[in-house]
């Protein structure tokens, strides 16, 4: 049974925790963003391929990888971490967290080091505009947007001086893409992801 929630009302993470139904939602600035129904087959295949490569690299390393649905709470201020003070909760397709003190039994509190969103026609505007701004403003160090049908990946890296994302490039089909948070130690071969 779906809850009847007022989409014009502002909610907190404390409210979000009480919604006991199967509908996936995110909160941005306290306002509900309904998520699309279950991702399509290509989305899930790519998620699995990227996740496998990252998970294999991260085995026995400090950083951890998590997949949606996994709650990432982005507080306005680092000291406002009580559930009733958090107004933004997202569920990225993939996130990597290297500061393990950000993890608790509810997910992650604070910016992951890296987020990957796998875009679809129904959510591409949100991934390249709204989530781009959100992740940039909250200090996510590296942000990738994967476009399955175009077989491309856009890579953004946070400039620590300006606090803004630098566009590192659009990579296509059989490119090898460096994961910047690992200082060039690891690359993802898009031929493996897109089955070129």
**What is the value of pTM for the model shown?**
0.94
In the numeric block, which tokens belong to residue 196?
Answer: 């070129």
Burial profile 122-134: b = 16 or more Cβ within 10 angstroms, e = fewer: ebeebbbeebbeb
* 41-69+90-194 CATH: 3.90.1570.10
What are the domain boundaries of the chain?
41-69+90-194
Q: What is the pLDDT along the chain (196 residues), one digit of tens a residue?
A: 567 888 899 999 999 999 988 888 999 999 999 887 777 889 999 999 999 999 999 999 999 999 999 999 999 988 889 999 999 999 999 999 999 999 999 999 999 999 999 998 777 777 788 999 999 999 999 999 999 999 999 999 999 999 999 999 999 988 999 999 999 899 999 999 997 5
């Amino acid at each position: 049974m779906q809850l009847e929630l007022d989409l014009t009302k502002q909610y907190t993470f404390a409210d979000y925790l009480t919604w006991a139904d199967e509908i996936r939602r995110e909160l941005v600035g306290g306002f509900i963003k309904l998520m699309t129904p279950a991702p399509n087959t290509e989305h899930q295949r790519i998620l699995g391929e990227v996740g496998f490569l990252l998970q294999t690299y991260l085995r026995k390393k400090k950083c951890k990888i998590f997949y949606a649905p996994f709650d990432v709470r982005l507080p306005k201020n680092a000291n406002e971490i009580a559930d009733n003070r958090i107004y933004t909760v997202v569920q990225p397709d993939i996130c990597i967290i290297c500061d393990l003190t950000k993890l608790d039994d509810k997910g992650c509190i604070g910016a992951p080091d890296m987020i990957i969103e796998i875009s679809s026609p129904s959510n591409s505007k949100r991934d390249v505009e709204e989530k781009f701004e959100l992740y940039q403003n909250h200090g996510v160090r590296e942000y990738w947007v994967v476009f399955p049908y175009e077989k491309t990946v856009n890579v953004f890296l946070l400039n620590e001086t300006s606090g803004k994302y630098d566009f590192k490039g659009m990579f296509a089909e059989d490119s090898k893409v460096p994961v910047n948070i690992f200082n060039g130690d690891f690359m993802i071969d898009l031929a493996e992801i897109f089955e070129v």
